[in-house]
Amino acid sequence: MSENRTRIELEHNIINKYPGFINRINDLENQCINIMDKLFLKHENWVKHNDVRLGAFGRILTNLNTTKTSLILLKNYLSQPNWEEEYFGSILPERFQFNGKHYGYFRSIDTGYRFQFYQQLYSQFETTARIICRSCTLKCKKPITQICEHSNFYDKDFIDFCDYIRNSIHNNGFYFPLNNQPSNWTYSFNDKIISFINGQKIDVDWNDFFELTNKIIELLDNVLSSSVFPENVIIKDTADE
């Protein structure tokens, strides 16, 4: 494949697709903000006492905004007419500059953004679950499983799906089952079948991650609104800065 064709495809994939991704992140940010506004209005004491039911969505909002900023910066960078000169002159690590111009590094940057986005989302989901388990003295199996079971919003297949994606990211996107996880498993999500086959790469793109974020926000809203976590009992956010 020619260098020029590779560059054109690179610019097309990022410059043309990122605006839609950024708009989708805006929608998810608004989803979090609407939930937080609802909680602010109903529970002023939660703000005063730093209740985790606010912080849970605040942390996801921060992750969304961080990712959006990164996508905007990369899109704007590649929109500059002289980006190649700067990139090959001072940004690309020197040891990658062999056999002509090397554009594959940008694919790794995009993958890194995508994986980092989900890893941080899962981490914040689990942070909230751990805080609740400690505060409510729930006996932890896995924190996320525990709070979902406790509030009667546990969907084993969905939580397994979240876990398998996280574990695959730990292997650069390849699925290698752990412990008693199946060697071949499929899950219907976002209008497609996602397969987890031992030793094979999973097919989860930006749009899947955005829809997964939407589902996690909805799940957290349901779990944290459950009557098993009384509104008049503060659950202190012990992970707030």
CA atoms within 13 Å, Cβ hemisphere of 7:
15
Name the residue ranges covered by the structural domains of the chain: 3-224
- Residue of 194, 225, 224 lying closest to 209 (CA atoms): 194
- Residue of 173, 211, 202 lying closest to 25 (CA atoms): 211
pTM tops 0.75, yes or no: yes
What number is the average pLDDT over the span 63-87?
A: 89
Mapping DSSP to helix (H, G, I), strand (E, B) and coil, where does residue 54 land? helix
- Tens of pLDDT, residues 9-36: 677 778 889 999 999 999 999 999 999 9
Beta strands in 34-162 (DSSP E): none
* Per-residue model confidence (pLDDT) at position 10: 73
Instruction: Answer yes or no: is pLDDT of 96 > 80.
Output: no
* Per-residue model confidence (pLDDT) at position 25: 98
* Per-residue model confidence (pLDDT) at position 15: 86
- Average of per-residue pLDDT values in the chain: 88
Q: Give the torsion sign (CA, 64, 65, 66, 71).
A: positive
Q: Give the torsion sign (CA, 42, 43, 48, 53).
A: negative
- Tens of pLDDT, residues 188-226: 999 999 999 999 999 999 999 999 999 999 999 999 999
- Tens of pLDDT, residues 128-158: 999 999 888 887 678 999 999 999 999 999 9
Q: How far apart are CA 94 and CA 81, in angstroms?
A: 22
* Per-residue model confidence (pLDDT) at position 226: 92
Which residues are CB-neighbours of 139 under 8 A, at least 6 positions away?
146
- Residue of 19, 115, 13 lying closest to 63 (CA atoms): 115
Q: What is the DSSP letter of 188?
A: E
pLDDT band at 231 (very low <50, low <70, confident <90, very high): confident
List the single range of 43-52, 57-66, 70-79, 169-178 with lowest mean pLDDT: 43-52
